[in-house]
Amino acid sequence: MTAKRVRIREVAERAGVSTGTVSNVLNHPEAVSETTRTHILAVMRDLNFVRDASARQLRVGESQTVGVIVRDLSNPFYMELARGIEDRLAQDNCLMMVCSSDEDPDRESRYIRLFAEQGVRGMLITPFRDTSEQIEMLDTLHIPTVLLDALSTTAQSVSVDHVDGARQAIRHLLDQGHRRIGFINGPPELRPCQERAAGAAQAIEEYGLDVAEVLVTTAVGTMSTDSGQEGMAKLLASGGATRTTGLVARAVCPVTAVFCINDFVAIGALRELRRHGLVVPTDVAVVGYDDIIFAREMMVPLTSVRQPMHDLGWTAVEMLLTGQPAKHVSFQPQLIVRASSLADQRG
């Protein structure tokens, strides 16, 4: 049997005060004497009173809930992003409702509509596709929206300079002497994937080399460990040869280094290299992107491009709640070099 919710009227009756006084304790405590406030709070505890937020929202016309839609909550990148969102929301006593689109545009659209029906205070979205129609709908409903890891002409947004991030990664590999570099990219419709591809090509051109001769690109449909393993398998298959070391047949990799679209993909690539008896970085250097918490804890610590995930989330909420006029805020990534790509680790 569900317990009946205690109402403000019942608290007032038990405390021997008016409902207005109880309401002031909840909303304007400075208007109530300390003695009265202490008494009413004690009664609330005795009765297990919990404020009805939905009723309050109807009265004051403003929700304290912000809807958050990310592409994949299982990815530590989005967990750290969500932590930045939560930390900033907590300063304004706001709550987030978070869900994953799983890179499914129809699911993304359903969540946007569901949050709108809930009357959320605002939305933060890492879009999988063009969301201009949904943004227009939310604007009509006066629901402010900030896009995460995106650049939009229809909404405020925060992002990272992925062109520069990929440029840093590829320049590092070129500096290590690599002249045949694999690139396991993600879905081509995603802006970060497009920008990282552009940054990789830019670095090679700045080095005075031919992109077609240096970069061997393959794309995966999702940015997961399994997809990373599939992408690495494609690169290895393009070599089409093996060599025997002792009694073990080992694949001959057509590249000496691999740049992966994110760290999950890099983990999958490492798994496939290991399956073929290839050693990192002796046979193949590997660089990831995001610098998730696991990157530095791996058996061969992973070189990765660090994104300021917490700052992205914090700034997006700041823009949402304070009405900052900035249309777009961009952050700079930082290459974190570890053993997986260092030349002095190679034989």
- The enclosing domain of 124 has a CATH number of 3.40.50.2300
277 and 153 in a common domain = no
169 and 124 in a common domain = no
117 and 22 in a common domain = no
Q: In 3D, which of 144, 107, 103 has the Cα closest to residue 126?
A: 103
Residue type, 17: V
175 and 297 in a common domain = yes
Give the CA distances from residue 297 to residues 74, 293, 294, 308, in Å, rounded to whole numbers and listed in that order. Answer: 18, 7, 5, 19
Angle at 334 (CA atoms; ends 170, 305), nearest 5 degrees: 55
281 domain residue, yes or no: yes
pLDDT in tens, 53-104: 555 554 444 678 999 999 888 888 999 999 999 999 999 999 999 999 988 8
pLDDT in tens, 223-279: 999 999 999 999 999 864 444 444 444 566 899 999 999 999 999 999 999 999 999
Q: What confidence score (pLDDT) does residue 8 get?
A: 87
101 and 20 in a common domain = no
pLDDT band at 3 (very low <50, low <70, confident <90, very high): low
- Crossing angle for the helix pair 8-15 and 34-47, to the nearest 10 degrees: 120
- Exposed (0-12), middle (13-18) or buried (19+): which is 67, by Cβ within 10 Å? buried
240 and 146 in a common domain = no
Judged against a pLDDT cut of 90, whether residue 325 lies above it is answered with no
pLDDT in tens, 90-138: 999 999 999 999 888 889 989 998 898 888 999 999 987 777 777 888 8
3-state secondary structure of 183: strand
40 domain residue, yes or no: yes
236 and 166 in a common domain = yes
CA distance linking residue 323 with residue 305, whole number of Å: 31
Mean pLDDT for 327-342 is 96
Structural domain count, the chain? 3
* pTM flag (> 0.85): no
CA distance linking residue 243 with residue 81, whole number of Å: 44
CA distance linking residue 344 with residue 347, whole number of Å: 8
3 domain residue, yes or no: no
288 and 242 in a common domain = yes
127 domain residue, yes or no: yes
pLDDT in tens, 285-299: 999 999 999 999 999
Percent pLDDT > 70 in the chain is: 90
1 domain residue, yes or no: no
Range of the domain at 44: 8-51
Q: What confidence score (pLDDT) does residue 1 get?
A: 41
